[in-house]
Amino acid sequence: MSYFDAASSAPLHPVARQALQASLDEGWADPARLYREGRRARMLLDAAREAMAEAVGCRPDELVFTSSGTRAAHSGIAGALAGRRRVGRHLIVSAVEHSSVLHSAEAFEADGGSVTRVPVERSGAVTVESYEEALRPDTALACLQSGNHEVGTEQPVASVAEVCRAAGVPLLVDAAQSLGWGRVEGDWSLLTASAHKWGGPSGVGLLVVRKGVRFAPQGPVDERESGRAAGFENIPAIVAAAASLRAVRAEATQEAIRLRELTERIRVRVPRLVPDVEVVGDPVRRLPGIVTFSCLYVDGETLLHELDRSGFSVSSGSSCTSSTLTPSHVLRAMGVLSEGNVRVSLPLGTPAEDVERFLEVLPGAVAGVREKLGAPVAEAVVQGDALVVDSLGKRCPIPVIELAKVIGEVGVGGTVRVLSDDEAARLDIPAWCAMRGQEYVGEEPADRGSAYVVRRLT
């Protein structure tokens, strides 16, 4: 079985396993106590904090350990907003942030704050100018991930941090996906990360708050971790997290080169091997191990099951793999195709042979799914000079399949109106038009759902 979902959670690094087992015997006591066992635990905790701070590029007393990366994001955003409440109640986030950041923004908004969600380009990257334009006199905090968790696009953190610093606004960086590859450059103010993303154990997050940043921890006061993270520290897991980060950093330069070559192999060859595929994300400014593509006329969940049966564990941002039946917020913000979406994120040490085998298996898996989904017949009627396709009650990718079947039945310049009540159609039909050289006219209201109007150009 080839595990290609390291962006969700990387396999436990051998060094993390060794450190975890070794520290179980020494790090179980309360590090706040003065007796021998407590002092030993405190030494382990302090050493791990110093090692982690060195890897991040901050002072040890600026870094605290939390119970997860999500908790670090929630605590960091809430504390920074509360600390700067007198400045104002305006928060800036990008539209492609991790859900932990976006959920914090929603909670802040529900509490009366205002939030600006900065759009991204089709590559998934923000522009520095868009952040600069979003800054206001009452902006309390800006947030920006260092690298995207779904498509791998790296963000211009250093440049955004510069314009935020010039405006006197702290920038919080979610570095969960990138910290294993190196420090986050730039004059950022707060940083969060999660150990299981780089091969450490789950349940260990980082929150860094630079000296001079106004910060007011929220919730009941706790004496541990400078009052910023409540609860007893999981010292064995923290030690393992620090040890694994040092280990992956030691091999990061060479491994990044190797994984970039493998993901580039996927980016180049998948469109040649599989027709009607869109590779998404920035082709150059991207994290080493992540590559994402979407396949027209494919049910993402079925494709993932087919690949699983063939021995490959991959992830997807397709709406049809989600209980909400809505596309990934990242793909939606980028305006790219969401149906049949596959994210391949290679863990450290992935053999080139596994990637080659994946490229051999993928075309057959996609063709099999497309064959299964080719059976539905479009219910098309002519209304005036437009062909109407009734896809109400049908989920992705059926509306797009039915559109593709009938587009040739109208003359050049004629239109097809696709009736659909699936949220994914709002993203996938325009994306199909861009891929197939047809004109997406727009969305119109309908008795049920919406009517998506497409004009035939070719």
Task: Give φ, ψ of 226 to 5 degrees.
Answer: 60, 25
Q: How many residues does the chain have?
A: 458
Residue type, 8: S
CA atoms of 407 and 421, how far apart (whole Å):
20
Q: How far apart are the C-alpha atoms of 426 and 327, rounded to whole Å? A: 10
Helix extents (H) in 274-351? 300-309, 329-334
Query: Helices 300-309 & 352-373, crossing angle to 10 degrees?
Result: 130
* DSSP 3-state of 258: helix
Identify whether 58 is a catalytic site residue.
no
Q: 61 burial class (0-12, 13-18, 19+ CB within 10 angstroms)?
A: exposed
> What string of DSSP letters covers 109-156?
HHTT-EEEEE---TTS---HHHHHHH--TTEEEEEEESB-TTT-BBP-
Encoding tokens for residue 328?
């990934």
- DSSP conformational letter for 224: S
What letter does residue 447 receive in the DSSP assignment? S
C-alpha angle 142-230-193 in degrees, rounded to nearest 5: 40
Query: Where does residue 319 rank: exposed (0-12), middle (13-18), buried (19+ CB within 10 A)?
Result: buried
Least Cα distance to 63 among 216, 200, 232, 190 occurs for: 190
Single out the catalytic residue among 143, 320, 396, 433. 320
Report whether 300 contacts 318 (CB < 8 A): yes
The DSSP result for 421-434, as a single string, is --TTHHHHHHHHHH
DSSP 377: P
Structure-token pair, residue 225: 């971790």
Give, for 401, the enclosing helix (H) or strand (E).
helix 398-406
CA distance between the termini of the chain: 43
**Which residues belong to the active site?**
320
